Chains A and B, each alone.
Chain A
Amino acid sequence: MTTLELRNISKSYGSVRAVNDVSLSVPAGCHTAIVGPSGSGKTTLLRLIAGFEAPDAGSLLLSGAPLADGNGTFVPAHKRQVGYLPQDGALFPHLSVAANIAFGIAHEPADVRERRVQELAEMVVLDRAMLARYPHELSGGQQQRVGIARALAQRPKLILLDEPFSALDTGLRAATRKATTELLDAAGVTALLVTHDQAEALSFSDQIAVMRDGRIAQSGPPVDLYLRPRDPITATFLGDAIILAAQLSGDGWSTSVLGSLPVDDSTRLGPASIMLRPEQVTMVGGSAADCSAQGHVLDLEFIGHSCVVTVDVAGTRVQVRCAVGGAPKVGARVSLAVNGPAHVLS
């Protein structure tokens, strides 16, 4: 069953087309990430779904009911029951944690409200003592959890998250993200996340939509997108990539500077770009027989958990990773081996 359906949505500001003919469907219970660089239109798309803005064209349906259709139908934000969690939580600073959580259920009787607040606090693992506190007395992670509890209080069918973790420190970010994912799963709520952080998008979602210049460049399950991006920009946006010019032989093999490699396209013939993820490439010192290519090390960069090694392979620079302990020296000869098929970019 589909919770959210976008059909050919467009929105312009002046002469700028912020969102251009976007279609997307989000199944019930699914976590979808919209990812793209800043200015790609992803925040505008989110605001259109939330109802803060009206689309110029196209239609928007929630559980089959139209929210906006570009010719007059427009359900404003406060009648949509769509949860919204912006960056840094945006808690109301003048209200206690309990009052923040209960903000969306003000029409319920007091006892119902109180029970619901307790329930939600438990769900987001928030100590009861916290309920009487004020937002500025909470840590960033706690604020985020209160924000989620507040959004879930009115039992929305859909919750929108606008870069909700970007304000947190690196360590806290991953943990909060994971906790949030689990929470939303437990609540069984459909979620839509907007982020410019590909790692966040990949780990959070069941479905990713990559936005660029107001359009959705590609969408699908995270693994599909990671391994089989449609173009080099999407490929590099979702992670480090080795992109090589190659000749396809039409039988599932390619020839490039890395030698003869299997590819995931067995029909195409002729010149094409192929992509490998760095983790597909392993490097050994000297010349090894089972390696498809040799080169020499041009540059070494230590990035903490591993090293990035730039290898000159017959005049083409290839960046691969290696463990810190086994890093070769600059100028050393190395051999490269490839695991798994290369992806042919269209």
Chain B
Amino acid sequence: MGVIATPGGGTIPLPPGARHSASLRAAPRWLLLAAIVVTGAMLLPLGFVLWVAVQIGWSEIVTVLVRPRVGELLLNTAMLVSMAVPASVLVGVSLAWLTERTDLPGHTLWSALAAAPLAVPAFVHGYAWVTALPSFHGLVAAVMVSVLAYFPFVYLPVAAALRRLDPAQEDVAASLGLRPMQVLRRVVLPQLRLPVLGGALIIGLHMLAEYGLFALVRFDTFTTAIFDQFQSIFSAPAANMMAGVLVLLCLLLLMLEVSARGGGRYARLGSGSARQAARLRLPPLAKGAAVLVVLAVAILSLGVPLMTLARWLMLGGAEVWDLDAILPVLGQTLALAAAGAILTTMAAMPVAWLSVRGRGAKVRIIEASNYISGALPGIVVALALVTVTIRVARPLYQTAFTVLLAYVILFLPRALIALRASIAQAPPELENVAQSLGRSPFRALTEVTMRLAAPGAAAGAAMVFLAVTTELTATLILAPTGTRTLATTFWSLTTEIEYVRAAPFAFMMIALSLPLTWVLYHQSRRAAGR
């Protein structure tokens, strides 16, 4: 596959092979071994699904999968993805164009507001809408709320790309006689293909994986159905085979994205230019309409969740802030998230180093495996781990180790991206020099390259941290008895219709996510050289 999700919605093309540097043969053996161990763990869920399929046999697979309910779910999922993804792209690209390329009044503010919905976890979006409009549900609600929750995944990379585009191209097009809208259509939009596809892939994968949001708006997808089955029959062939179908759907999305990229895969957008593109002057009427559009999106994607939450918080007053109950949950969440972040980053290091410095098919396979596993929904990973630990690794069953392993599997790609970028910036010569000065290859790697990659590691760790604080399905299924996180507590209160008592937990999740969302927004602007 060619891209991977970053929470900021950035997509990073795979490097076209490593630079001339240490060859795989020169890669320390322990590092290769570590990378293979990590990759093995990452492939566990895929292996599990295959193993179950082989175990239950073809005829049983047919009975479990060829039935109206599965067709219904397929149809639901297909409708959801095929409606919400294009709608998110439309919203994301329009907002990016308005905030970056027109003289929209207050464009800096609108641009920050367009990134901000990312700080609100999708299931909190769902909670806000469902509690504000109790009868809002079904396909329309599912599509609308997921667009509002996920469109920043398209907005951020497209806005960054628009800032990076060389305005000289547009000048040339204008000099060839194209009107501004023609320039947009024939020169600008085609160049947004990569960020749009990357963002669309991330949104599609999120929709396949999301449980809480769709459970709240009462729209059945494969993920909610697997969860229902899990609650009815625990780990049964039906649930596991439906997980297999879900895996196939994820792989299908990955393949669609890769084929849509086509030859454009490694195409680079301009490396930044000193000159900024001129902003299009909107006629007064269009300007008014544009302000209405961005205002409407901001109200729906931020206003509704925040107002609803504020209302519940006010209804609850000081009473719902039962610190004896809240502080342990917050403490456990932070501790789990920190542990998950550290372990995921450590596990990502050997793979990241190999993917930058190593060469050859083996390295590419290791890298691709890690990205594919990272595209799998939490429910698949959780089902795999709970079944494997209960059957063959009982000492690990219901332990912190297993839930942390799930976090590593789910979020390793996020750490990988950040680390790979920063390792790529540390010249391999430095490791050579360190060796010439008496450091063993391992110490040269840790003292120099890893030290230089530390900021990237920190950024990756922060992303994993954030992801863990809002992770729901794997935590619900795998965490040791007595573990409560913000997400699981919020969820159990929401399902008991205790909306008021759930509000503080939603608030804390947003408060934890905000700084990182700001960092991502800031990064996407700085990456564009401003």
Using a CB–CB cutoff of 8 Å, the interface residues on chain A facing chain B are 13, 47, 50-53, 76-84, 86-87, 90, 92-94, 103-104, 106, 150-151, 153-154, 160
Contact = CB atoms under 8 A, between A and B. Distances in A.
Given A78-B440, A93-B452, A86 B429 contact: yes
Given A50-B435, A90-B432, A103-B437, 5 more contacts: A76-B440, A77-B435, A78-B437, A104-B438, A151-B437
B435 A52 contact: yes
Contacts, number: 66
A80 B444 CA distance: 15
Contacts of A160: 436
A77 B432 contact: yes
B438 A87 contact: no
B432 A84 contact: yes
18 contacts: A50-B432, A53-B26, A78-B438, A79-B438, A80-B436, A82-B436, A84-B433, A86-B429, A90-B427, A90-B433, A92-B430, A93-B452, A94-B451, A94-B452, A103-B434, A150-B433, A150-B437, A151-B437
A86 B435 CA distance: 13
B435 A78 contact: yes
A56 to B, nearest CB: 12
A51 B435 CA distance: 9
B279 interface: no
A98 to B, nearest CB: 15
B309 to A, nearest CB: 43
A187 B439 CA distance: 23
A267 B441 CA distance: 56
Interface in B390-446: 427, 429-430, 432-441, 443-444
B448 interface: yes
B436 A92 contact: no
Q: Nearest 5 CB-CB pairs, A to B? A: A104-B437, A84-B436, A77-B435, A90-B429, A86-B429
Chain B contact patch, size range: 20 to 34
A160 B429 CA distance: 13
Nearest to B444: A78
B21 to A, nearest CB: 10
Interface of B: 22-23, 26, 427, 429-430, 432-441, 443-444, 448, 451-452
A83 B436 contact: yes
Contacts of A153: 437
A150 B434 CA distance: 10
B432 A86 contact: yes
A76 B431 CA distance: 13
Contact of B429 (A78, A82, A87): A87
Contacts of B438: 78-79, 81, 104, 106, 154
Nearest to B448: A92
Contacts of A86: 429, 432-433
B217 to A, nearest CB: 49
A52 B26 CA distance: 8
A103 to B, nearest CB: 5
Contacts of A77: 432, 435-436
A101 to B, nearest CB: 10
Nearest to A147: B433
Contacts of A87: 429
Count chain A CB atoms within 10 A of each CB in B427, B435, B440, B448 and give the residue with the most: B435
Contacts of B434: 92, 103
Contacts of A93: 452
A342 B342 CA distance: 71
A53 B22 CA distance: 9
Nearest to A13: B23
A93 B435 CA distance: 16
Nearest to B443: A78
A211 to B, nearest CB: 18
A82 B438 CA distance: 9
A92 B452 CA distance: 9
Contact of A78 (B26, B427, B430, B436): B436
Contacts of B22: 52
A76 B437 CA distance: 12
Contacts of A78: 435-441, 443-444
A84 B22 CA distance: 16
Count chain B CB atoms within 10 A of each CB in A13, A51, A80, A92 and give the residue with the most: A92
Contacts of B26: 52-53
A159 B326 CA distance: 63
Contacts of A103: 434, 437
A319 to B, nearest CB: 36
B171 to A, nearest CB: 33
Count chain B CB atoms within 10 A of each CB in A50, A78, A86, A150 and give the residue with the most: A78
A120 to B, nearest CB: 13
Contacts of B23: 13
A160 B436 CA distance: 10
Nearest to B433: A90
A322 to B, nearest CB: 43
Contacts of B435: 50-52, 76-78
B436 A50 contact: yes
A29 B452 CA distance: 36
